[in-house]
Amino acid sequence: MNYDPSQVLAKLLDDPAGIGQVRFAGNQHQAPELAYQVNFPRLEIIVEGEQRMIWEEGQGMTLEQTLVAGDVLFVPAGGWNNPVWDTPVTTLSVLFGKQQLGFSLLHWDGGEFRTLGRQNVARRGPRVGSFLLQALNELAWHQSDQGTARFIVKSLLSHSMDLLGSLAQTASRSQALFDAVREYIDEHYHEPLTRESVAQAFYISPNYLSHLCQKAGGVGFNEYLNHTRLEQAKHLLKRYDMKVKEVAHACGFVDSNYFCRLFRKNTERSPSEYRSQYRSQLTNLDDN
């Protein structure tokens, strides 16, 4: 089974029998020790296996039932539930925070827990989710209407999957933009590039450019720019009898002394030593 949260949601939504019984926890009394309780509403879903679950039913009473795959427990803000981990089970928790949704996939194999997936996504258009959550809160007084309960739960999960999809699209757009920035640097490395000038070329802010490089490329802007310039410098040192100062300027370094320091830091050799060692290796190959 695919344990990506969006794939789990898709499976629940595509299967006509994906959502089973919808249960409702109360939130009128203090949670017992070791129970799960947060200030935001959430859905606890059994993905695979089964699990004994204890929750507040109302009027201070507690209820214990075994939930099977597809069953859902709606826990309102301030409500609590107490899962009993005694048989293998996979669960999905969806937490509806004010600013974001949280997804947590857990598996209990009978001996230990494994976190299969954990993800957060910003709430876009939170009113949609808020109205659906309010409907579930009101439906707690009419729990026998399981058809409506399943419909609302499916609507919430569909809304959640839509938010996850928008997150994936945003990540894809960020990667495409970073690839374009990287190509731009690879082509213009010899020019006096700065974070500000490259950001201006793509109509983005310098701060967003830095964020983009770190998030999509895992590297800082200056780090990538210097890496590109140094790789080109190595190429020039190997193939041409250019002076070190000429190599530095050809690769976009205004200060040749800075270039030499950076080159040594990167290769543990000066530019001249790098060239000499490379040519010495070539001579040895020719002699052999």
Per-residue pLDDT of the chain (288 residues; tens, 9 = 90+): 446 788 888 888 888 888 999 999 988 878 888 888 888 999 999 999 999 999 988 666 889 999 999 999 999 998 999 999 999 999 999 999 888 888 999 999 988 888 888 888 877 655 678 899 999 999 988 888 999 999 999 999 998 888 887 766 666 778 888 889 999 999 999 999 999 999 999 888 999 999 888 888 888 999 999 999 999 999 999 989 899 999 999 999 999 999 999 999 999 999 999 999 888 877 765 555
DSSP 88-136: -EEEEEEEE-SSEEEEEEEEE-SS-EEEEEEEEEE-SSHHHHHHHHHHH
pTM: predicted TM-score of the whole model, two decimal places: 0.60
Phi, psi of 269 (to 5 degrees): -145, 155
| CB of 45 closer than 8 Å to CB of 91 | yes
What are the contacts of 225-233 at 24+ separation with CB within 8 A?
Answer: 225/185, 225/189, 225/193, 225/252, 226/262, 228/185, 228/186, 228/189, 229/189, 229/190, 229/253, 230/262, 230/263, 230/266, 232/189, 232/190, 233/259, 233/263, 233/271
- Please state whether beta strands 100-108 and 89-96 pair in parallel, antiparallel, or not at all (unpaired): antiparallel
Q: Is 85 helix (H, G, I), strand (E, B) or coil?
A: coil
3-state SS class at 232: helix
Domains, the chain, ranges and CATH?
Answer: 5-169 (no CATH), 189-288 (1.10.10.60)
Tell me whether residue 219 is exposed, middle or buried, using C-beta atoms within 10 angstroms of its C-beta: 0 to 12, 13 to 18, 19 or more: middle
Pick the closest to residue 55 from 88, 22, 85, 32 (CA basis).
32
